[in-house]
Structures are given as C-alpha cells and as structure tokens.
Amino acid sequence: GAVVSQHPSWVICKSGTSVKIECRSLDFQATTMFWYRQFPKQSLMLMATSNEGSKATYEQGVEKDKFLINHASLTLSTLTVTSAHPEDSSFYICSARPPGYEQYFGPGTRLTVT
C-alpha cells in the first residue's frame, strides 16, 4: 500500500513553454502533498507544501508565480512550471502524507528544458 505515482516520468520541453507534472496518491487520501527539486548529485530541496483545497506554502527563494501548485483533490496535486528555462531542468519529486503518517514519495519526473 501507500503508492504515489507521478506523470510523466520524464519530459522535454522548449524554453518558454509550460509543463505540468501530476502527483497522485493511488491507495490513500493525502491531505498534504510536498514538491521537491533535486539537481544532479545534490540532495532534495523542498519547494512547497500543499494542502487540499488551500493555497500552497512556498519555501524561501521559490517563485510561486513560476511554479504553480494545485491540490484540487485528496489524491491529486499538480506542479506547473511556467515559462520554463534551461535552469529549471531538474528532477522533481513529490510526496504525499496521509493524516498521522509519514511522507510517501513518488518516483520522480525528469524535466529537461532545451
């Protein structure tokens, strides 16, 4: 149990376009979901925390207008990278947390902006 999926697993887009990444909790309801970014050979850095039905809380230094997060249901959160640039190329990982439990992580999405 406690499976989190992400779609797509990898995406290539052109500079200036927007790309949406989905994070789903498949067998549980997650009141809270988290989005992380991981650059090559670096650790995970929390970007934002989203609670179902409310606005996401962004970490310092993360542009909320560039990284749009929507947590419309208890099983789905989306991250949209708007006007993507090559420096946004990274590995994006989401996690979902059912009430009273720890975070369960998705498999990640590799974004390459050309």
Partner 1 sequence: KQEVTQIPAALSVPEGENLVLNCSFTDSAIYNLQWFRQDPGKGLTSLLLIQSSQREQTSGRLNASLDKSSGRSTLYIAASQPGDSATYLCAVRRPPDKLIFGTGTRLQVFP
Residue ranges that bind partner 1, judged by CB under 8 A: 6, 32, 34, 41-46, 49, 91, 93, 95, 97, 102-108, 110
Contact 33, 71 (CB under 8 A): yes
Nearer to partner 1, 6 or 78 (CB): 6
CA distance linking residue 93 with residue 54, whole number of Å: 20
CA distance linking residue 82 with residue 21, whole number of Å: 11
Determine the length of the chain.
114
Among 50, 47, 44, which Cα is nearest to 30's?
Answer: 50
Nearer to partner 1, 45 or 72 (CB): 45
Nearer to partner 1, 49 or 80 (CB): 49
Tell the smallest beta-carbon distance from residue 83 to partner 1 (Å): 26
Tell the smallest beta-carbon distance from residue 19 to partner 1 (Å): 18
Tell the smallest beta-carbon distance from residue 91 to partner 1 (Å): 7
Contact 32, 26 (CB under 8 A): no
